[in-house]
């Protein structure tokens, strides 16, 4: 009987496995799955079970879930294909009699107007109809969505976006991962919906001010109409469909779609979430 983590070759999945190991789960009870098992060799060397799983290949999903007691389904990254991919995993989990399926959804999935939320909402509906015991980890934005851009932001001397003065409850991937680990190890989670986000929401102007303070370089925030922002991103080499998703997500931030005030993240991890200031300072020190 094991805890299976999908998307373990990705950034969140890796953090979750480290969080489970930190919580003294025996490595042999953790199954790290991904499309490229060679990317998981380091974990295999530490005693973690490693299995191939491609959401688009039902037989690989069924084989990887053999003996699974709990399952973390990390939402896929192929936008547009995710509903059917997630359905494949949920059906396999049902066939295997998984006791708990935790799914990484999006903050405020039931009310969010963001285009990205549609596939999460559809996946949640499949889960409800499936009869599989499930818990929803409705993750908010990653702080890394901003801190990973720091070198470019500093080079430009400015941030651009379409979020207006909307606020976002960003949190570090590692914090969401610790929350996922806590839920996977707790009893009585079926039917719970967690709205997860940082303790203090911030606007893009707050982010610019935080970067200015951490780096000593004045960074301004330029708010643009969504089409103009998407055009700026494509001009910088971002593929058009992704640029449009990013601009649409900023409009969601302007509406408050990524605002979370539940306190669920802090409660699950048992400490304050990593703050924007801490994350920006760490990223600035690494530049």
Residues that bind ligand NAP (CB under 6 A): 6-7, 9-13, 34-36, 53-56, 74-78, 85, 104, 139, 141-142, 145, 173
Q: Nearer Cβ to ligand NAP, position 34 or 166?
A: 34
Task: Supply the minimum distance, in Å, between the C-beta of residue 80 and ligand NAP.
Answer: 12
Nearest CA-CA partner of 64 in 137, 13, 6: 6
Q: Nearer Cβ to ligand NAP, position 49 or 85?
A: 85
Task: Supply the minimum distance, in Å, between the C-beta of residue 89 and ligand NAP.
Answer: 9
Measured CA distances, 115 to 30, 242, 253, 261 (Å): 33, 11, 12, 22
Q: Nearer Cβ to ligand NAP, position 141 or 221?
A: 141
Q: Nearer Cβ to ligand NAP, position 213 or 262?
A: 262
Task: Supply the minimum distance, in Å, between the C-beta of residue 235 and ligand NAP.
Answer: 22
Q: Nearer Cβ to ligand NAP, position 10 or 256?
A: 10
The 3-class secondary structure across the chain, one letter per residue, is CEEEECCCCCHHHHHHHHHHHHCCCCHHHEEEEECCHHHHHHHHHCCCEEEECCCCCHHHHHHHCCCEEEEEECCCCCCCCHHHHHHHHHHHHHHHCCCEEEEEEECCCCCCCCCCHHHHHHHHHHHHHHCCCEEEEEECCECHHHHCCHHHHHHHCEEEECCCCCEECCECHHHHHHHHHHHHHCCCCCCCEEEECCCCCEEHHHHHHHHHHHHCCCCEEEECCHHHHHHHHHHCCCCHHHHHHHHHHHHHHHHCCCCCCCCHHHHHHCCCCCCHHHHHHHHHHHC
Q: Nearer Cβ to ligand NAP, position 109 or 209?
A: 109
Q: Nearer Cβ to ligand NAP, position 24 or 177?
A: 177
Task: Supply the minimum distance, in Å, between the C-beta of residue 14 and ligand NAP.
Answer: 8
Task: Supply the minimum distance, in Å, between the C-beta of residue 187 and ligand NAP.
Answer: 26
Do 144 and 172 meet the contact criterion of CB atoms below 8 Å apart?
yes
Task: Supply the minimum distance, in Å, between the C-beta of residue 11 and ligand NAP.
Answer: 4
Task: Supply the minimum distance, in Å, between the C-beta of residue 32 and ligand NAP.
Answer: 10
Q: Nearer Cβ to ligand NAP, position 111 or 145?
A: 145
Task: Supply the minimum distance, in Å, between the C-beta of residue 167 and ligand NAP.
Answer: 15
Q: Which residue is nearest to ligand NAP (CB)?
A: 10
């Amino acid at each position: 009987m094991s805890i299976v983590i999908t998307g373990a070759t990705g950034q969140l999945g890796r953090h979750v496995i480290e969080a489970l190991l930190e919580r003294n789960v025996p490595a042999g009870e953790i199954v790290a799955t991904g499309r490229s098992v060679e990317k998981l060799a380091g974990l295999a060397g530490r005693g973690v079970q490693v299995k191939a799983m491609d959401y688009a290949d039902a037989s690989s999903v069924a084989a990887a879930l053999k003996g699974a007691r709990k399952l973390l389904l990390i939402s896929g990254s192929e936008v547009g294909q995710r509903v059917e991919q997630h359905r494949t995993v949920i059906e396999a989990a049902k066939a295997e009699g998984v006791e708990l399926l935790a799914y990484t959804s999006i903050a405020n999935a039931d009310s969010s107007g963001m285009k990205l939320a549609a596939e999460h909402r559809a996946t949640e509906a499949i889960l409800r109809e499936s009869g599989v015991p499930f818990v929803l980890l409705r993750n908010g934005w990653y702080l890394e969505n901003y801190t990973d851009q720091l070198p470019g932001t500093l080079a430009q001397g400015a941030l651009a976006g379409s979020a207006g003065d909307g606020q976002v409850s960003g949190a570090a991937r590692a914090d969401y991962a610790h929350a996922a680990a806590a839920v996977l190890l707790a009893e009585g989670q079926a039917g719970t919906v967690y709205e997860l986000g940082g303790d203090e929401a911030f606007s893009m102007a707050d982010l610019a001010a935080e970067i200015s303070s951490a780096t000593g370089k004045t960074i301004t925030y330029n708010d643009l109409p969504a089409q103009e922002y998407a055009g700026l991103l494509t001009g910088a080499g971002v593929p058009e469909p992704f640029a449009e998703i990013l601009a649409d997500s900023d409009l969601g931030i302007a509406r408050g779609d990524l605002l979370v005030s539940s306190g669920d993240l802090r409660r699950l991890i048992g400490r304050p979430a990593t703050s924007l200031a801490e994350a920006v300072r760490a990223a600035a020190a690494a530049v």
